[in-house]
Chain A
Amino acid sequence: SYVLTQPPSVSVAPGQTARITCGGDNIGSKSVHWYRQKPGQAPVLVVYDDSDRPSGIPERLSGSNSGNTATLTISRVEAGDEADYYCQVWDSSDHVVFGGGTELTVL
């Protein structure tokens, strides 16, 4: 089965840049989607198809995908960015695969 690996936690100071990685075998050949989840809330789509943003998501959030790593980058981090972030892909054997999630802490 296909596995997506995320770091359990990332910490960053306000105003700095956070990078959350999602590792998978040849993930660059797949479309990666990213979700943000705040406590007690449902996940929200923040990046889709590697690097596109839904309406209402600020340009500070961006995505990239190449080789064995996809990355969600959050520039000029704010306190409101604190959340869990999940990557997700489609795989022909598993249908849908989610990463284990990364907790972003704003120091």
Chain B
Amino acid sequence: QVQLQQSGPGLVKPSQTLSLTCAISGDSVSSNSAAWNWIRQSPSRGLEWLGRTYYRSKWYSDYAASVKSRITVTPDTSKNHFSLQLNSVTPEDTAVYYCVRGVPNFLTGDPLGKFDSWGQGTLVTVSS
């Protein structure tokens, strides 16, 4: 059974960098059949996919257009975890952030697939 354990600060100042980490147990960040995602949720924006990293003979990442200029999702194979960095945050980035395992299904033409395991969520508030 896959478990995802998030860590990171709950308060970030405007213009600074939001950093969160997600530790994986029961799977590998280097899995050839999964992808490792960050999704956030706020009352104003609902559930919003931010980006992912995945390994298919080499490392890939892709990001939502809304945050593409500010986001980095990186794996750490030595610790079996992956991280989110979101730069230049504003109060609009206040949300609950989740790390999530995605399982693509290329048979159905769904390259992102289902999100079948979620971290516990971290409320991040952007405020001075």
B-binding residues in A (CB < 8 A): 30-31, 33, 35, 42-45, 48-49, 54, 86, 88, 90, 94-96, 98, 100-101
| A42-B98, A42-B120 known; A33+B115 contact, CB < 8 A | yes
Give the CA-CA distance A54 to B113 in the complex, in Å.
Answer: 13
| Chain A residues with CB below 8 A from B98, complex form | 42-43
Q: How far is the CB of A84 from chain B (nearest CB, A)?
A: 10
Give the CA-CA distance A44 to B108 in the complex, in Å.
Answer: 21
| Other A-B pairs, 17, CB within 8 Å; known A31-B108, A33-B115, A42-B121 | A30-B110, A33-B114, A42-B118, A43-B115, A45-B114, A45-B115, A45-B116, A48-B116, A49-B114, A54-B116, A88-B115, A90-B111, A90-B112, A94-B64, A95-B112, A98-B48, A101-B46
Is B75 close to A, CB under 8 A?
A: no
Instruction: Give how many B residues have a beta carbon under 8 Å from the other chain's beta carbons.
Output: 23
Give the CA-CA distance A43 to B99 in the complex, in Å.
Answer: 11
Closest chain B residue, CB of each to CB of A86: B47
| Chain B residues with CB below 8 A from A31, complex form | 105, 108-110, 113
